[in-house]
Amino acid sequence: MDYEKNIIVLMAINVTEQLFRSIFSETLENSDEEEELVEAFLLEAHLRLRGPLRKAIRIEGYVEETVPRFNTKQFREHYRMLPIGQCGNQIGSAFWPLALHEYGIQTTTDVTDLNTAKVKARAVLVDMEDSVLSRFKQGPLRQLFDQTCIVTNYPGSGNNWAIGYYVHGSDYHDRLEESIRRIVERCDQLHGFLLMHSLGGGTGSGLGTATLKLLRDNYPHVERIVSCVYPANTQDTITAPYNTLLATQELIEHATCVLPVENKALLDICNAQINKRDNTGQINYNASCKPFQDMNSIIVNMLLHLTSGSRFPGNLNMDMNEIATNLVPYPKLHYIFSSISPVTLSAPNMCTMQEAKLQDEVFTNLWSRNNQLIRLDPLQPTSVILAAAHIARGNTTLTDIKRNIERFQNKSKFTSWSKDCMKIGLCSVPPAGHSSSLLCLLNSSAMSSLFKDIIREFSKLYKKKAHVHHYTQVHGFEETHFIESKENILNLCECYAEIQNMEETSISRLQVI
C-alpha cells in the first residue's frame, strides 16, 4: 500500500513538473531560467519527502537529476573548502556526511547513493600525516574527492609552527598552488575559500596560515574565511602557546574573516548536552561517541548553517560573501563570535530528534553565553557590538525575526553607528532533525579578551625561553617573530579598546539665519 502511495505521489510530481515547464515556457524567454526554476521546485519537493518515498524517488532518478545539479549551480559557484591538518580534516570527515545527508544522499546505509548522485567535493585536503586522510582514500567517501587534490606527507610538523609554515609551506607550495588552481577552474564564479584548521599543532597553524598567505597572493580579491580551533585551556602540546600566537598574527594579516572556536567552549556544550533530557526523560546524548566527535559535530552544524544560504533556496538568503561586507567595519577587526540554537550533537548513528520550542526561546538560547562557540560573552556590559547578523533556517518567519531582533537591540550595547543595522538571512530548508534553527554572528570588542589570553599564555612560556630553540633552528624563522607577533596582537587589542571607549559625536543642527 505504501508503495502505491509513493507511486501516486511520484506521478503527481511528474504532472506538476510538466505543468511548471509549460507555464514557464510561455512566460520566460530564457530556457536556462526555466530549467533553474523547475530544478528548484524538484529540489524543494525532494527535501520535504522522507522515508520510503525518498527511496522511491532515488529509484526513479530524481536525486541524480535535481540535487547535484542544484548543488552545482549554487555552492559550487561560490566557495572552495580547504581542511588542513589533523583537526581540520577530522572536522571535514564529519562535515561531508552531514552535508550529503541534507541533500538526501546517504553515505552509510546505501553505498550506491554516492555513485548515483555523481557529486564531487570541491576541496583540497591537506595534512602532513596520513592517519586521517587515509579514510578519504579508502573509506566510503573516497569517490567524493579528487585524489589529485589530497596533499599529504610523513612524518608531520612536530607541533612546530615554523616547520609547518617555512618547511612544508615551501616544499609543498607548488603542489598546493596547482591543486587549488584545479578546483578553482571548475567553478564559474569563485566567491571565496573556507579554511578549517586548529592553531595548537604544527600543520594546522603553520601550513594552514602558509596556505592562507598563498591564497591572498594568488587570489587577492577573493574572500578568505577561516574557521579555526583555539586550544584555550585544553592544550595538549607544550608549544601550543607559541603556535597560537604566531598563527593568530598571520590570520590577522591575511584572512578576510575569522570564526574562532575554543575547545573548552565545545567541551562545556557537550557536558551540558549530557545532562539535558527531552520530554520522554531520555538523555539526548550518544554515549558511545568520543568527545571529539561531538565537539566536531557542533562546529559542523555551525558551518552547515553558515553555508546554507549558498546551498539552498530562501526568501531572504544570506550568501557567505556578505559576511565580511556586513560584519567587518575595519580590515583587521575581522574576528567574529558565533553561536547556534538549538545545539545538536549529530553523531553518525544518532537518531534525529525534534524539539518543540517557541521561537522566542530559541532566540534567547542563541544569545546565551552557554551557546557561544568561544568562552567569552560578546554581550557583556563593558563591551560594544560593532556589527551583527542572524541567519535562520526552516520554519522561522520574518515576523519572529523582527520581534526578536528588537529585543536583541534593546538589551545589547552597540556602537553609535551600528545599532540600526542588522543583517538577516532566511533559508527555507531546515537542518536535519529540527524544524528550524538559528545562527548568530557578532563582531564585538569582547574579542580582545581572547587575544589577551593568547599573550598571557605565550608570556608564561617565553619568559623562560623554553622550547625557543626548536623554532630558531628552522631556516627562515627568527626569534624576533615572537616579539613582532606579540606587538601586533597588542595593537589590535588597543584598536578594540579605542572603539569601546569611543564617544558618540553629536552634531548640532544648523541655525537658519
For the chain, the domains span 79-448
Give the predicted TM-score (pTM) of the model: 0.81
Does pLDDT of 275 surpass 80?
Answer: no
Q: Tens of pLDDT along 311-343? A: 888 878 888 889 999 999 999 999 999 999 988
Of residues 270, 252, 309, the one with CA closest to residue 439: 309
For position 137, what pLDDT does the model report? 83
Assigned CATH topology for domain 79-448: Rossmann fold (3.40.50)
Among the listed residues 1, 8, 74, 13, the one whose alpha carbon sits nearest the alpha carbon of residue 38: 13
Which residues lie across from 337 on neighbouring strands? 442
Instruction: Out of 101-110, 135-144, 267-276, 449-458, pick the least confident.
Output: 101-110
Mean pLDDT lowest for which of 128-142, 258-272, 359-373? 128-142
> Nine-digit cell at 308?
546554507
Closest to 328 in 3D by CA, of 447, 230, 432, 176: 447
For 453-464, give one letter per residue: b (16+ CB within 10 A) or e: bbbebbeebbee
- pLDDT at residue 129 tops 80: yes
Question: Using an 8 Å Cβ cutoff, are 308 and 73 in contact?
Answer: no
Digit-coded pLDDT (tens) for 152-209: 987 788 899 999 999 999 999 999 999 999 999 988 888 899 999 999 999 999 999 9
